[in-house]
Amino acid sequence: MNLFDALTALLLVLLAWRCLIVPDLFRSIVLFVVFGLLLALTWARLDAPDLALAEAAIGAGVLGVLLLGTWRALGSPRRGETPSSSLPAGLRVLSAAGSAVLAGALAYGLHLLPGTGDGAGTLALETLPLPATGQPVTAVLLDFRSYDTLLETAVLLMAVVGTWLARSPLLDALSSEDATAHTPVMPVLMRLFAPVLLVTGAYLVWAGAYTPGGAFQGGAVLAAAGVLLALGRRLGTAPDAGWLLRLLLVLGVLVFIGAGLLLMPAQNAFMAYPERWAGLIMHLVEYTLAVSIALSLLLLFTGRPGLRGISG
């Protein structure tokens, strides 16, 4: 029984339980972010480096900023104590019992599962050298099950359009009276961190083909750079998205579908890339995807369709 694993698992559960139980909203958000970071650590421990990166960048990073931003934008009356549950005590006990049974059943189920050797996983590992990318997860994402990845980018696009329709921009709510506006330190931080973030993001995207990384993780880091610039007043929002921004937003999906459809007659199957250019196409798709994801996550944060640079 490895102490580290037991401790992490216990801490995870404790954090999640506190996050859901504690009445104060701000405290539960902070707990949730810490829970996300610890989860990223757990995944690194469970030999899933890609996911650790993704969870840290997207789950804890972007989501953390969004949660804190939303909490900030909720306005004073709503922020403090969240009303304790209105359910009668009996129902709470019932739901507690129900969830306990669910958890127990799931745990016992997972425990029972035999490790099947002949599943799709082993098949994927065996056919690894075939697709251009060495990294197994990226291979699955961009080649074997690239259909899922494509649909997923469409989900991101829908979320962005949905956020526009919700018409509740986050950035504007934080603008004026925020403490960060007037401190000299912010420009220093931005000048130092923004380029570092951009470089790391680009590296992650490029490295995705061979080492853990890829479009999503890289995109998230790039988005983080964008959020930093937005908070530092270098990046403002605009009422309507210019055509360039819209093009970049959908670039990933367009290239993905385009590559699939145009090459379909040749290979008689959707998204089956011919041998010679497979590597090239995948890289192209990955880069455009990263750009689209970065912009989408940024727009999910700002909440308004347009973006404009603010000088000085």
Chain residues 272-311 in contact with another protein, contact rule CB under 8 A = 272, 293, 296-297, 300-301, 303
- Rounded least distance, CB 307 to another protein, Å: 15
Which range, of 201-209, 235-243, 280-288, touches another protein by CB under 8 A?
235-243
Does 181 bind another protein (CB under 8 A)? Our answer is no
Q: Which is nearer to another protein, 206 or 263 (CB)?
A: 263
Q: Please say whether the beta carbons of 137 and 143 come within 8 A.
A: no
Strand segments, DSSP code E, in the chain are 235-238, 306-309
Does 71 bind another protein (CB under 8 A)? Our answer is yes
DSSP 8-state symbol, 308: E
H or E element in which residue 64 lies: helix 63-73
Considering only 180, 210, 238, 280, the residue that binds another protein (CB under 8 A) is 180
Which range, of 201-209, 252-260, 280-288, touches another protein by CB under 8 A?
252-260
Beta bridge partners, 307, equal 237
Q: Which of 291, 311, 289, 299 is nearest to 241 (CA)?
A: 299
Does 175 bind another protein (CB under 8 A)? Our answer is no
Q: Find the radius of gyration of the CA atoms of the chain.
A: 22
CA 25-31-36 angle, to 5 degrees, is 125
The Cα–Cα gap between 298 and 301 comes to 5
DSSP structure string for 196-242: HHHHHHHHHHHHTTTSS--HHHHHHHHHHHHHHHHHTTSEEEESS--
The Cα–Cα gap between 136 and 210 comes to 9
Does 205 bind another protein (CB under 8 A)? Our answer is no
Chain residues 31-50 in contact with another protein, contact rule CB under 8 A = 32, 35-36, 39, 42-43, 46-48, 50
- Which parts of 145-184 fold into alpha helices (H)? 146-166, 170-174
Which range, of 19-27, 201-209, 280-288, touches another protein by CB under 8 A?
19-27
Does 262 bind another protein (CB under 8 A)? Our answer is no
Does 116 bind another protein (CB under 8 A)? Our answer is yes
Q: Which is nearer to another protein, 236 or 306 (CB)?
A: 306
- Rounded least distance, CB 198 to another protein, Å: 14
**Residue pointed to by tokens 């130092």:** 192
- Rounded least distance, CB 38 to another protein, Å: 10
Which range, of 201-209, 257-265, 280-288, touches another protein by CB under 8 A?
257-265
Structure tokens of 165? Answer: 């329709």
Does 159 bind another protein (CB under 8 A)? Our answer is yes
Considering only 193, 203, 206, 277, the residue that binds another protein (CB under 8 A) is 193
Which range, of 175-183, 202-210, 279-287, touches another protein by CB under 8 A?
175-183
- Rounded least distance, CB 253 to another protein, Å: 6
